[in-house]
């Protein structure tokens, strides 16, 4: 039982590693908006599997659901930051990206509070708690189709200038947005002359060694500072 419980807890992280590893390939091939929509479907399916696990009397369904939730979270974290940043006007970009971290911590705190025995952590209601992750995914699945694809993706990967201009006007209103388009073109030119490193190549790259050490230490120790409680 201890082994199964440990696997149930840790399999979320394994799924997250797989999801985040495949995020770059999927976003380049299919676009950020399509990936987010499909990711919402994956989360809803995972939530349904976990929600019905008690009725089916199957702990395997919890394992599968947790693994799928991990994949979905691993895909969503980089995707969401990129999409929100790219569709926001330049003056609001920093604020928009910071809201992601705020709601990430708020969601974790709400989950921990809801998991108390007095609320949804009871013998009767814990399947509802496990299925609750499907609600935010459902909200985004319903609302996201009204948003356009990321303008940088349309211009840099699809080379669709008119589609990019249309998306910018839909997001930021009518006006002169040539400066933003020029910035995207400059970024595209820079990327052509920059080699994209794989995870293994990044680890072996001497010039980024200390930055990598700093990122690993910060990410590992931030879990010890009570960030969720704050």
Classify burial at 139, counting beta carbons within 10 Å of its beta carbon; exposed 0-12, middle 13-18, buried 19 or more: exposed
Could you tell me how many helices (H) and strands (E) the chain has, helices first? 13, 0
Question: What's the mean pLDDT when you consider all of the chain?
Answer: 86
Q: What is the pLDDT of residues 26-67, one digit of tens each?
A: 888 888 889 999 999 999 999 999 999 999 998 899 999 999
DSSP-assigned letter for residue 224 = G
Residue 90's pLDDT is 80
Q: Model's pTM, two decimal places?
A: 0.81
What percent of the chain has a predicted confidence (pLDDT) above 90?
30
Instruction: Taking each helix axis as running N to C, give the angle between helix 134-143 and helix 32-51, from 0 to 180 degrees, rounded to the nearest 10.
Output: 150
Strongest mean pLDDT among 17-26, 64-73, 81-90: 64-73
State the CB neighbour count (10 A cutoff) for residue 103.
13
Query: In the CATH hierarchy, which fold is given to the domain comprising 1-147?
Result: Growth Hormone; Chain: A; (1.20.1250)
Q: Which of 113-117, 119-123, 178-182 has the lowest mean pLDDT?
A: 178-182
Q: What does the DSSP assignment read for 140-161? A: HHHHGGGSPPPHHHHHHTS--H
Counting every residue, how long is the chain?
Answer: 230
Residue 230's pLDDT is 60
Instruction: Taking each helix axis as running N to C, give the angle between helix 2-21 and helix 23-30, from 0 to 180 degrees, rounded to the nearest 10.
Output: 40
Q: What are phi and psi of 120, to 5 degrees?
A: -100, 0
CA distances from 82 to 111, 148, 169 (A): 25, 14, 19
Q: Which of 29, 121, 25, 116 is nearest to 74 (CA)?
A: 25
DSSP-assigned letter for residue 223 = G
């Amino acid at each position: 039982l201890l082994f199964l419980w440990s696997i149930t807890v840790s399999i979320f992280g394994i799924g997250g590693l797989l999801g985040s590893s495949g995020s770059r390939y999927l976003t380049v091939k299919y676009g950020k908006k399509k990936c987010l929509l499909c990711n919402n479907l994956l989360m809803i399916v995972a939530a349904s599997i976990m929600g019905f696990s008690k009725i089916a009397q199957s702990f395997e369904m919890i394992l599968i659901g947790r693994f799928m939730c991990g994949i979905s979270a691993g895909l969503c974290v980089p995707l969401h930051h990129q999409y929100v940043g790219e569709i926001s006007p330049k003056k609001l970009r920093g604020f928009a990206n910071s809201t992601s971290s705020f709601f990430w911590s708020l969601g974790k705190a709400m989950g921990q509070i809801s998991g108390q025995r007095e609320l949804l952590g009871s013998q009767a209601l814990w399947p509802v708690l496990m299925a609750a992750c499907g609600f935010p995914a459902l909200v985004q699945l319903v609302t996201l189709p009204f948003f356009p694809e990321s303008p940088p993706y349309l211009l840099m990967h699809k080379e669709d200038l008119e589609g990019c201009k249309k998306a910018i006007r839909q997001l930021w209103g009518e006006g002169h947005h040539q400066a933003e388009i020029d910035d995207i073109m400059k970024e595209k030119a820079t990327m052509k002359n920059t080699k994209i490193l794989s995870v293994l190549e990044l680890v072996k790259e001497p010039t980024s060694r200390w930055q990598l050490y700093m990122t690993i230490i910060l990410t590992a120790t931030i879990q010890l500072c009570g960030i969720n409680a704050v």
